[in-house]
């Protein structure tokens, strides 16, 4: 029992420690693709370190929401990391607390507070970003729903640990159309929710074009560090769900010993870095969509997810 709690905390630690690294690697790779050298992959750690040591300035006109939000944004992905398979292929101590839908709600809670906080300060750019995030969010919501419903339809469960077994037993299931189409739909969702390029430019500095970034414009010091770190962890957790549950449920620790679980860390990181390569390829080869074209992008994701459902029904 204690062992399982420890492993669970180890999962959280992995997410906390390596989330900035994933962000750093992504940024560096993108710079390299653009024929630049780019910052070190450890730059996000230095940024966080620097921000934690800076003074925090909070607007006098803001309410408690503004002060409270960074903690929620920071904690939400940690909660999710307790629920999902980050390192092990068997459920750990806290996994009983929620399924994939539960995880989705917890992540959405963080997003909800970030949106409120953006409106709270009356900075003109915050509400712009907030309303845009909501637009992306409510367009992505039905896709999330269909994806989860299809998953539960195929696997008979929304518990990630059951789902991941379903895709590889037998191996032919991996090629089932519902699986491949779900993966495609979820990939589009990750791009939308993670604020990646066809939907949003994470490295953009032009406030009027921002979607995700403008919500944390008013933050400074420790609050900003928490927002940033939380955002990186959220993306890392999404990647874990995507890779460990949906796409490649291999490389997770099946054994109960500490060695097995520690060995899973580099394997999972390897998968994530491989995916980052794909992500960098996508981001470098596409242009950011105009705001009202985002509806079409997510419409495509919706169609893909429904096609997954239809294909599943058609076979049966």
Binding residue count for other proteins, defined by CB under 8 A:
26
Distance CA 76, CA 106 (A): 6
The two counts, helices (H) then strands (E), for the chain are: 10, 0
First to last CA, the chain: 41
Distance CA 152, CA 100 (A): 10
* Two tokens, residue 14: 């992995």
The reply to whether 282 sits near other proteins by the rule CB under 8 A is no
- As measured in angstroms, the least distance from the Cβ of 299 to other proteins is 5
* Residue with Cβ nearer other proteins (79 or 302): 302
Angle made by CA atoms 79, 162, 270, in degrees to the nearest 5: 65
3-class SS of residue 124: coil
CB-based contacts of 29, cutoff 8 Å, min separation 6: 38, 276, 277, 280
The reply to whether 27 sits near other proteins by the rule CB under 8 A is no
The reply to whether 170 sits near other proteins by the rule CB under 8 A is yes
The reply to whether 296 sits near other proteins by the rule CB under 8 A is yes
Q: How many residues are recorded in the chain?
A: 316
Say if residues 76 and 234 touch (Cβ distance below 8 Å): yes
The reply to whether 299 sits near other proteins by the rule CB under 8 A is yes
Q: Which stretch binds other proteins (CB under 8 A): 71-79, 229-237, 264-272, 302-310?
A: 302-310
The reply to whether 315 sits near other proteins by the rule CB under 8 A is yes
From 46, 29, 51, 47, select the one nearest 38 (Cα to Cα): 29
Distance CA 74, CA 225 (A): 9
Give 35's DSSP letter. T
- As measured in angstroms, the least distance from the Cβ of 297 to other proteins is 10
- Residues within window 173-202 making contact with other proteins, judged by CB under 8 A: 173, 175-178, 180-181, 184
Distance CA 69, CA 224 (A): 10
Member of 172, 254, 285, 287 binding other proteins (CB under 8 A)? 172
The reply to whether 41 sits near other proteins by the rule CB under 8 A is no
The reply to whether 303 sits near other proteins by the rule CB under 8 A is yes
Distance CA 212, CA 133 (A): 6
Q: How far, rounded to the nearest angstrom, does the alpha carbon of residue 307 sit from its chain's CA centroid?
A: 23
- As measured in angstroms, the least distance from the Cβ of 298 to other proteins is 9
3-class SS of residue 167: helix
Q: Which stretch binds other proteins (CB under 8 A): 72-80, 106-114, 222-230, 301-309?
A: 301-309
Binding mask 98-137 for other proteins (x = CB under 8 A): ----------------------------------------
- As measured in angstroms, the least distance from the Cβ of 256 to other proteins is 30
- As measured in angstroms, the least distance from the Cβ of 286 to other proteins is 13
Distance CA 302, CA 316 (A): 22
Member of 1, 2, 171, 254 binding other proteins (CB under 8 A)? 171
The reply to whether 308 sits near other proteins by the rule CB under 8 A is yes
- As measured in angstroms, the least distance from the Cβ of 166 to other proteins is 13
The reply to whether 300 sits near other proteins by the rule CB under 8 A is yes
The reply to whether 2 sits near other proteins by the rule CB under 8 A is no
* Residue with Cβ nearer other proteins (182 or 211): 182
Contact footprint for other proteins (CB under 8 A): 170-173, 175-178, 180-181, 184, 295-296, 299-300, 302-304, 306-308, 310-311, 313-315
């Amino acid at each position: 029992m204690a062992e399982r709690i420890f492993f669970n905390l180890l999962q959280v630690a992995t997410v906390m420690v390596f989330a900035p690294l994933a962000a750093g690697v992504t940024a560096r790779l993108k710079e390299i693709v653009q024929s630049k050298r780019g910052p070190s992959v450890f730059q996000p750690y230095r940024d966080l370190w620097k921000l934690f040591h800076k003074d925090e300035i909070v607007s006098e006109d803001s309410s408690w929401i503004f002060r409270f939000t960074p903690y929620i944004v920071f904690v939400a992905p940690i909660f999710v990391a307790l629920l999902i398979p980050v390192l092990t292929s068997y459920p750990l101590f806290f996994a009983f607390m929620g399924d994939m839908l539960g995880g989705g709600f917890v992540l959405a809670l963080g997003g909800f507070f970030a949106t409120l906080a953006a409106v709270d300060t009356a900075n003109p750019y915050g509400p712009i970003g907030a309303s845009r995030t909501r637009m992306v969010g409510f367009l992505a919501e039905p896709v999330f729903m269909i994806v989860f419903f299809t998953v539960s339809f195929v696997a008979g469960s929304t518990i990630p640990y059951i789902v991941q077994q379903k895709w590889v037993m037998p191996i032919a299931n991996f090629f089932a159309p519902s699986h491949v189409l779900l993966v495609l739909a979820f990939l589009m969702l990750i791009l939308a929710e993670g604020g990646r390029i066809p939907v949003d430019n994470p490295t953009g500095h032009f406030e009027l074009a921002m979607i995700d970034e403008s919500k944390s414009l008013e933050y400074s010091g420790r609050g900003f560090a928490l927002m940033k770190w939380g955002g990186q962890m959220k993306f890392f957790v999404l990647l874990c769900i995507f890779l460990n549950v949906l796409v490649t449920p291999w490389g997770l620790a099946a054994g109960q010993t500490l060695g097995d679980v520690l060995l899973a860390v580099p394997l999972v990181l390897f998968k994530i870095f491989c995916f980052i390569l794909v992500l960098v390829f996508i981001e470098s080869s596409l242009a950011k969509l105009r705001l009202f074209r985002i509806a079409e992008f997510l419409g495509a994701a919706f169609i893909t997810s429904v096609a997954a459902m239809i294909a599943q029904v058609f076979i049966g």
